[in-house]
Amino acid sequence: MNSIELDVTNYPEVVTLAGLLASEYWRRTLVNHDEPPNWAPNSAEQRLYDEASRRLKIAYQPWGYDPLATWVDHIRRSYLLQRANHHVEGQPRR
């Protein structure tokens, strides 16, 4: 299989995942601190994986350096960094 055939074969999954990654709903849900911990069965992270399974029509299971799990971690770290920077900038100057 050449590169073009591989791209065409993967295109539906790429578009499906792009829609999931671009979703503002999932970004907000993943950084919501009222959610159960990310290891809990009904956590935002687990619901995201369930949604990926539903959209891709597969049993999605994250693994070690899973790209979707890495994206979740990036979203959460970015949010915490923005909050920390906002807090520092909002403090009165001495």
If you average pLDDT over every residue of the chain, what do you get? 83
What confidence category does residue 20 fall into, taking pLDDT thresholds of 50, 70 and 90?
very high
Query: Per-domain residue ranges for the chain?
Result: 3-90
Q: What is the mean pLDDT of residues 9-29?
A: 90
Q: Tokens standing for 4?
A: 């073009």
pLDDT of residue 90 exceeding 70:
no
What's the one-letter identity of residue 40? A
Record the tokens describing residue 24, joined without a space: 């503002």
pTM of this prediction? 0.73
Q: Which two tokens stand for residue 92?
A: 């009165």
Residue 21 near residue 71, CB atoms below 8 Å: yes
What percent of the chain lies above the pLDDT cut of 90?
Answer: 26
78: its two tokens = 């970015």
